[in-house]
Structure 1
Amino acid sequence: MGAETESAPVSPLEDPATWTVGLVRRTGFAVRASLGRRDGRATFAVVSTAYFLAYAVGLDHLGLRGGAAGVGSGRSPTVDVAVASDPLALLTRRVAPFQYEPVALVTLGPFEYLFVPVNGALGLGLAALVGVTLAVSVVAWRGPAACRIGAGAGAAAGVPGLLSGFACCGPTLLLVIGVQASAGLLAVMQWFLPLAVLGLVATLLWVGSRVDPAAVG
């Protein structure tokens, strides 16, 4: 990939608007350059898929149905879809902070997935953010001349994702371990998801800002 030319970096104290625009453009180039490489695309695909599946399992939206029927039967798995009687009424009905009512149950062989449009969109967005941040980190790590990033970037990208998982799964976790959750604790937990999104975006901007466009091939 050809290199992009950049003017001398501007201090955020001297011109915050110009610095912010430059940071976003630099990060955008880093994302495009990373997803333009095979290793970057592979990292993005594997990480984002794994994160979304873990997110769905953590919310108890994805799992094995009772008895795991169909396992080892030798027959092709069948797909069954059961839709709620009034899905539009359930679409935005909250059951917990950032958790909504399912509108359909999809069964594929021994697996079942509760389709919750809002949570699905949240999970895909978080998965994409984690995947693209780690893709940029991997490409930068494999081309050290192109960046000034340490090995902690990949780990940093996963922390906001863990916070988002706790935001959605926290009430269930508290119930499982037998802790009586106070209203105050649940109120605090509802802030974890927006903080996680901000953390993911900030991490992506930080990782992208460390990449030197002139040195990325």
Structure 2
Amino acid sequence: MSTDGSTDKTGAAASIQRLFRNTGVAVSGALSRRDGRVVLGVFGLAYFLLYVAGLRHLGFGPSGYEVSVVSNPLTRAFRQVGPFQWEPVALVVVGPVELLVAPLNMLLGAILAALVGVNLAVSVVAWRGPAACRLGPGVGAVSGLPGLLSGFACCGPTILLVVGVQASAGLLSLFQWLLPLTVVALLGTLLWVGSRVETVRQGP
């Protein structure tokens, strides 16, 4: 009986395992540095705030202090109001800042923010000190572009809001449906960087 098929599957599984392991090496190497952690924190938080603001769940109003919760918040937290959008269940007002709390929207925003932040952290560290991620010279400059483009793709509704473009409901819905593709693009960028990790450190 031929074993070529099983050999190919074993080889493919080993390659995938090595790819994920190398991606982990690149991410841990980037986050082991202060500049990588700063990029993750600053850009991750900035993106999260922009994402929530893009949903119009974060804004400014009359100054005051208030916390109000809807009836049956647990049930209504899972009620969809659009593609990848869920109903807010609470309003928090602190000074002039108003926040509509939609737990699933905030969770999704946090996941996207983490992916954007990690992509940019790996890209910046790979550019400034490629040895930290066990990457060859020049990889950081190339890998930074897809990370930035993916991050900007996530912020489509926010960009329209910032520039004052009146977007139709259909256009905003299109941006929401692009979210799964954005997640795939961000993960793909990290895996692309992982494929460039040197498995053996070079000697001094």
TM tier, smaller: 0.7 to 0.9
- Does the aligned pair in 2 maintain the 1:160–1:195 contact within 8 Å? no
Work out the CA distance in 1 between the residues paired with 2:117 and 2:169.
35
| Distance in 2 (alpha carbons) for counterparts of 1:34 and 1:144 | 9
Q: CA deviation at 1:189?
A: 4.9
1:121 alignment partner in structure 2: 107
Displacement of 1:162 after TM fit? 3.3
Match of 1:153 in 2: 143
Distance 1:24 1:180, change over 3 A: closer
Partner of 2:129: 143
Q: Which has a greater percent of helix? A: 2
What residue identity is the alignment partner of 2:182?
A: A
The total of aligned residue pairs comes to 188
Alignment partners' CA distance in 2, 1:154 and 1:35: 16
Specify the alignment match of 1:55 in structure 2. Answer: 51
Partner Cα distance (2:155, 2:48) in 1: 10
Q: Quick one: structure 1 residues 178 and 24, their matched pair in 2 at CA, closer, same or farther if it must change by over 3 Å? A: closer
Aligned CA distance change for structure 1 residues 178 and 192 (closer, same or farther; 3 Å):
closer
- Give the Cα separation in 1 of the matches to 2:119 and 2:168: 35
For 2:145, the aligned partner's letter is A
Distance 2:36 2:83 in 1: 33
Look up the SS of the partner of 1:113 in the other structure.
strand
Contact 2:51 2:158 survives alignment (8 Å): no
Letter in 2 for 1:162: F
- Aligned-CA RMSD value: 2.9
Q: Mind listing any 5+ residue stretches in structure 1 that lack a counterpart?
A: 1-11, 71-78
> What is the CA distance between 1:43 and its match in structure 2?
0.9
Tell me how far 1:85 sits from its aligned partner: 1.5
Q: 1:104 to 1:186 in 2, by over 3 A?
A: closer
TM-score (norm 1): 0.75
1:42: which partner in 2?
A: 38
SS of the residue aligned with 2:92? strand
Q: Which amino acid aligns with 1:161?
A: G
Query: AA paired with 2:150?
Result: P
Percentage identity across aligned positions?
A: 49
Q: Relative to 1, partners in 2 of residues 1:177 and 1:186: Cα closer, same or farther, differing over 3 Å?
A: closer
Give, in whole Å, the separation in 1 of the partners of 2:167 and 2:126: 44
Q: Report the AA paired with residue 20 of structure 1.
A: I
Write the distance in 1 (CA, Å) between the matches of 2:97 and 2:174. Answer: 33
Give the 3 Å change call, closer, same or farther, for CA 186–80 of structure 1 in structure 2: closer
Amino acid at match of 1:153: S
* Amino acid corresponding to residue 84 of structure 1 in structure 2: V
- From 25, 31, 42, the equivalent of 2:27 is 31
Task: Report SS of the residue matched to 1:60.
Answer: coil
Out of 33-42 and 144-153, give the one that drifted further.
144-153
